[in-house]
């Protein structure tokens, strides 16, 4: 790491002493600004955490810091009991869309990125240009066109209507091509070929292993994107049993405007919906960072 630390200058002349003093003030100012920013990012999360332990009455009196009422367990049982436990169903759906989708999707993207790097084929760069176009086109612009196609083939309001489109991850292909050229040396592939291994065998046994960290990065980015997905499921699904968490919580929030007993449920439901991503991000920190920096140099 190239951490950069300006050393206090040696020798204490008068000017140096005054710069040292001004350095102390700027140090205090800098730390204060960063602290305020950190509070800004943290406090809403803290509110969610505290609000999740409150019952409806305490929530509406905005008495967020009163610990007289601790209804976390009550809220949890209510959450999973509401509408015959549909929240649990949404949670499983979200896990299926996001975890399975990101696994399959990153395997598809990494394979394609690897092929772009290691093989020559006709119109390769033209096809890659199309991939880059895909990177630039946000998923939301495609939601309605996708709906029109899905309704044409009779797939609207099915699991696949959400699952298949989220597999498409052109940014993953771009990233995998970059990582493949960086981390998988051609000599290793040659050695494997000389040993008589088939191309696919080499890919699975040798290359995929070397691309492991890159795979995790692509996976993590896709997991987040799918977990956050809102427009596409909203357009595609009308059957509540197929909803992911994002859409389910949205419907409950609209119910809350009519029947306020939904408010505590939306709060605790939101809290539980955030947990997997926060855990994934904290434990897999170095992977998302490498993805971010790779993304920023592109």
Partner 1 sequence: MLACVTLMAPFTALLIAVFLVPVGYAIGLSLFGEDHKGLGFGGGTTVFTGLRSYLAVLQDPSFVSGFGAIALYCVIFVPVVVIGALALALLLDSGLVRLRRTAQMLLYLPHAVPGIIAAVIWLYLYTPGLSPVIKLLAQGDITVDFLGMNTVLPSIVNIALWSGLGYNMVIFYAALQAVPREVIEAARIDGAGGFRTALMVKVPIIKGSVLMVCMFALIGALQLFTEPMLMNQATPMVNSRFTPNMYIYDAAFRRNNYGLASAASVILLIVTCALSYAVTRWTGRKERSAR
**Which residues, numbered 227-266, are part of the site for partner 1 (CB under 8 A)?**
227-228, 230-231, 234-235, 245-246, 249-250, 253-254, 257, 263, 266
Q: What tokens appear for 154 in the block?
A: 């009779």
Any contact of residue 159 with partner 1 (CB under 8 A)?
Answer: no
Rounded to an integer, what distance in angstroms lies between the CA atom of residue 142 and that of residue 273?
Answer: 25
For residues 91 and 275, is the Cβ–Cβ distance under 8 A?
no
Among 18, 21, 27, 57, binds partner 1 (CB under 8 A): 27
Rounded to an integer, what distance in angstroms lies between the CA atom of residue 56 and that of residue 71?
Answer: 9
Residue 281 CB, nearest approach to partner 1 (Å): 4
Any contact of residue 136 with partner 1 (CB under 8 A)?
Answer: yes
Residue 56 CB, nearest approach to partner 1 (Å): 11
User: What stretches of 1-97 show up as alpha helix (H) in DSSP?
Assistant: 14-51, 56-60, 72-81, 86-95
Residue 185 CB, nearest approach to partner 1 (Å): 18
Residue 49 CB, nearest approach to partner 1 (Å): 11
Rounded to an integer, what distance in angstroms lies between the CA atom of residue 298 and that of residue 280?
Answer: 25
Residue among 253, 261, 265, 212 at smallest CA distance from 87 = 265
Rounded to an integer, what distance in angstroms lies between the CA atom of residue 206 and that of residue 184?
Answer: 9
Residues in the chain: 298
Residue 80 CB, nearest approach to partner 1 (Å): 18
DSSP assignment of 199-233: HHHHIIIIIHHHTHHHHHHHHHHHHHHHHH--HHH
Angle of CA points 220, 48, 163, to nearest 5°: 35
Among 11, 15, 44, 187, binds partner 1 (CB under 8 A): 44
Segment lying near partner 1 (by CB under 8 A), choices 67-75, 83-91, 210-218, 225-233? 225-233
Among 79, 131, 178, 218, binds partner 1 (CB under 8 A): 131
Task: Classify burial at 229, counting beta carbons within 10 Å of its beta carbon; exposed 0-12, middle 13-18, buried 19 or more.
Answer: buried
Determine the size of the site formed for partner 1 (CB under 8 A).
Answer: 94
Residue 262 CB, nearest approach to partner 1 (Å): 12
Rounded to an integer, what distance in angstroms lies between the CA atom of residue 232 and that of residue 141?
Answer: 10
List the x/- string, 163-202, binding to partner 1 by CB under 8 A.
Answer: -xx-xx-x--x------------------------xxx--
Residue 123 CB, nearest approach to partner 1 (Å): 11
Any contact of residue 119 with partner 1 (CB under 8 A)?
Answer: yes
Any contact of residue 277 with partner 1 (CB under 8 A)?
Answer: yes
Segment lying near partner 1 (by CB under 8 A), choices 46-54, 72-80, 83-91, 210-218? 46-54
Among 3, 13, 15, 283, binds partner 1 (CB under 8 A): 3
Q: What tokens appear for 21 in the block?
A: 């003093």
Residue 143 CB, nearest approach to partner 1 (Å): 8
Q: Which is nearer to partner 1, 42 or 92 (CB)?
A: 42
For residues 54 and 71, is the Cβ–Cβ distance under 8 A?
yes
Segment lying near partner 1 (by CB under 8 A), choices 68-76, 83-91, 135-143, 209-217? 135-143
Any contact of residue 209 with partner 1 (CB under 8 A)?
Answer: no
């Amino acid at each position: 790491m190239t951490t950069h630390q300006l050393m206090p200058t040696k020798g204490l002349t008068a000017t140096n002493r005054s710069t040292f003093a001004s350095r102390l003030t700027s140090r205090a100012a800098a730390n204060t600004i960063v602290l305020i920013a950190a509070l800004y990012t943290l406090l809403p999360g803290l509110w969610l955490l505290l609000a999740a332990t409150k019952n409806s009455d305490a929530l509406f009196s905005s008495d967020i810091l009163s610990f007289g009422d601790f209804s976390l367990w009550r809220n949890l049982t209510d959450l999973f009991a509401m509408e015959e436990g549909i929240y649990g169903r949404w949670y499983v759906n979200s896990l299926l869309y996001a975890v399975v989708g990101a696994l399959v999707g990153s395997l598809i993207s990494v394979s394609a990125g690897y092929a772009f790097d290691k093989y020559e084929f006709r119109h390769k760069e033209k096809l890659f240009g199309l991939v880059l176009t895909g990177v630039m086109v946000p998923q939301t612009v495609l939601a309605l066109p996708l709906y029109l196609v899905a309704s044409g083939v009779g797939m609207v309001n099915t699991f696949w209507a959400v699952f298949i489109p989220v597999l498409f991850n052109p940014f993953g292909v771009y990233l995998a091509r970059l990582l493949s050229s960086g981390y998988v040396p051609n000599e290793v592939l040659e050695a494997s070929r000389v040993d008589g291994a088939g191309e696919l065998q080499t890919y699975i046994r040798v290359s995929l292993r070397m691309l492991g960290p890159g795979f995790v990065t692509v996976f993590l980015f896709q997991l987040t994107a799918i977990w956050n997905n809102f427009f596409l499921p909203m357009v595609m699904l009308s059957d509540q049993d197929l909803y992911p968490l994002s859409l389910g919580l949205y419907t409950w929030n609209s119910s809350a405007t009519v029947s306020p007993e939904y408010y505590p449920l939306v709060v605790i439901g939101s809290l539980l919906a955030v947990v997997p991503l926060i855990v994934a991000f904290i434990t897999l920190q170095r992977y998302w960072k490498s993805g971010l920096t790779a993304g920023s140099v592109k």
